[in-house]
């Protein structure tokens, strides 16, 4: 059943970092692939703006959570590949549990369970 939601949602402040870290968890990837992955996995609900993607990647790199190397892409082109560092992995775990607590809390408030019904 098609849901009555807008075709796209704006990213919440601070969630882009979490999304990038999560996307890099299986392995290395370059900027364009990261954006596409987020878009596809979210069933096109999340559109990553290039204007914020690259600053975010460089910021994460500056924080030491991801590292970058120049490698050849599948099509044989030189691309800047990012991968998680050990610190990034730790950060991801922390961010993820924080996010889960947060979304559970939001869910509880937005869809309250009827007390009498229990």
Partner 1 sequence: MSSFFRKLRWLLQRSGKEAELRQELQFHLDEEAAERRQDGLTGDAARRAASRELGNRTLVEENTRAVWGWVFLEQLIQDLRYAARTMRRNAGFSVLALLSLALGIGANTVIYSFMDSLFLRTLPVGQPESLVVLNWHSQGRVGGGANHVMHGMDGSTWKDDNGTSSGIFPFGAFELFREKTTLFSSVFAYYPTEKRTLLVKGQAEIAAGEYVSGDYFHGLELTPAAGRLMVADDDRAGGPLVTVISSRLSERLFQGASNAVGQTILIDNLLFTVVGVTPPEFFGVDPDASPDFYVPLHSNLVLDGTESFAKTPKSYLDGNYYWIQIMGRLRTGVSRAQAQAALAPQFHQWVAATATNERELASLPALTAKAAAGGLDTLRRRYSRPLYVLWGMVGLILAIACANIANLLLSRSTARQREMAVRLSIGAGRVRLIRQLLTESILLALAGGAVGALLAVWGVRFLSALLANGQDNFAVRPDVNWHVLGITCAVSVLCGSLFGLAPAIQSTRPDITPSLRGGRVAERSPRVGVSVWRVTLSQVLVISQIVFSLLMLVAAGLFVRTLSNLQSVQVGFNRENLLMFEVNARQAGHRDPEILTFYEELRKRFAAIPGVRNATLSHASLLAAGRRLGLSVSGTPLTDTWILNTGPDFFSTMQIPLLMGRQIDEADQLGSLGIVVVNERFAATQFGGQNPLGRRIRLGGPHPRDMQIVGVAANAQYGGLKQDIRPVIYIPYNQGDYPRVQKMVYALRTAGDPLAQASTVREIVRQADSRIPVMNVTTQAMEIDRSMNQEIIFARLCTGFAILALVIATVGLYGTMAYRVARRTGEIGIRMALGAQRGAVVRMILRQALVLAAIGLAIGLPAALGASKLVESFLFGIKSNDPSVLLLAVAVLLCAALIAGYLPAWRASRINPLTAIRDE
Binding residues for partner 1, rule: CB under 8 A, are: 30-33, 36, 49-52, 54-55, 58-59, 62, 70, 73, 75, 77-80
- 27 vs 51, which CB is nearer to partner 1? 51
- 58 vs 98, which CB is nearer to partner 1? 58
Distance CA 80, CA 4 (A): 38
Distance CA 114, CA 55 (A): 44
- 2 vs 51, which CB is nearer to partner 1? 51
Distance CA 118, CA 114 (A): 7
């Amino acid at each position: 059943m098609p849901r009555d939601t807008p075709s796209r949602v704006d990213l919440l402040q601070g969630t882009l970092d979490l999304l990038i870290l999560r996307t890099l968890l299986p392995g290395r990837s370059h900027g364009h692939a990261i954006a596409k992955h987020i878009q596809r996995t979210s069933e096109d609900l999340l559109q990553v703006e290039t204007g914020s993607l690259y600053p975010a990647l460089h910021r994460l790199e500056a924080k030491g959570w991801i590292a970058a190397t120049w490698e050849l892409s599948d099509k044989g082109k030189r691309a800047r590949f990012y991968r998680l560092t050990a610190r990034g992995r730790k950060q991801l775990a922390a961010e993820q549990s924080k996010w889960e607590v947060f979304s559970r809390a939001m869910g509880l408030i937005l869809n309250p369970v009827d007390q009498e019904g229990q």
